[in-house]
Every structure is written in C-alpha cells, then in structure tokens.
C-alpha cells in the first residue's frame, strides 16, 4: 500500500496508510511522537475562525477556580481584579485533609475599568 493513498477522506480530515517497511521513520514518529500529529491535515475553515473565537471568549464574566491550598494563586487573581464568588467546601482530599474549591470571577466592566486605570 502506498502512503499517498488515503484510507479515509472526510469533509475535514484525511488519513493515509503508513508502510512500516517503506517509511519506518514515519511509523516511528506517528506511533511515538505526539508532535508529529501536525501532519494531519484539517480544513482551515472549521468553525474556529477568529471572529467565532472572539465571540465565544468575549464573555460578560470570566471565572477562575482555585483550590484553597494555593494562597499565592488566590492573591494573584485578587491582584488582577478577581473577586471571591463562592466556595465548594471539602471538594478535594489531599495529604490527609479536605480542601475547598474557591470560585473567583471578574465582570467585563470591572476588567475594562481596571485596564483604563493602568
């Protein structure tokens, strides 16, 4: 089987065979090197266009959850304007102790005001 023949060709992806005798380096990379997945050809017009990404992530509110055992992260989020919004008590059991999950968030207006002040 030749490597330029496709095994499967869909609307957004195409898979081709790998001949381990003709192309042992490709088989080795394909099966053992995650970075080699860049060879998979995807249709660039998938619904992840910059406009859709901006619309999806330009939310009214951003949330960040952090565990209680990480006070430096909590302080870092507070420094950039995140507020405590809630807490799930005893969510994680680690090192013989139960830890809370702290919910933190910032509104878009708060973030924009902070950016103007800086």
9 has pLDDT over 80: no
Domain boundaries defined on the chain: 1-48, 59-117
- pLDDT reported for residue 64: 85
Strand partners, 65: 103
Those residues whose C-beta lies under 8 Å from the C-beta of residue 63, and which sit 6 or more positions away, are 85, 103, 104, 105
Q: How far apart are CA 81 and CA 60, in angstroms?
A: 15
Q: What is the bridge-based pairing of β-strands 14-15 and 8-9?
A: antiparallel
Sign of the Cα torsion 41, 47, 51, 53 reads: negative
At 70-81, the pLDDT tens digits run 999 999 889 888
User: Considering only CA atoms, which of 49, 53, 100, 107 is closest in space to residue 74?
Assistant: 100
Fold of 59-117: Aminopeptidase (3.40.630)
Helices (H), ranges, the chain: 24-32, 50-57, 71-79, 108-117
| pTM across the whole model | 0.49
- pLDDT reported for residue 5: 60
């Amino acid at each position: 089987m030749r490597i330029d023949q496709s095994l499967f060709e869909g609307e957004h992806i195409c898979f081709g065979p790998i001949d381990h005798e003709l192309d042992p380096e490709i088989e080795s990379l394909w099966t053992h090197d995650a970075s080699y997945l860049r060879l998979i050809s995807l249709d660039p017009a998938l619904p992840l266009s910059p406009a859709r990404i901006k619309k999806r992530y330009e939310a009214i509110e951003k949330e960040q959850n952090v565990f209680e055992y990480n006070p430096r992260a909590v302080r870092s989020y507070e420094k950039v304007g995140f507020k405590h919004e809630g807490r799930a008590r005893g969510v994680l059991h680690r090192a013989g102790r139960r830890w809370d999950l702290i919910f933190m968030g910032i509104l878009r207006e708060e973030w924009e005001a902070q950016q103007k002040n800086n």
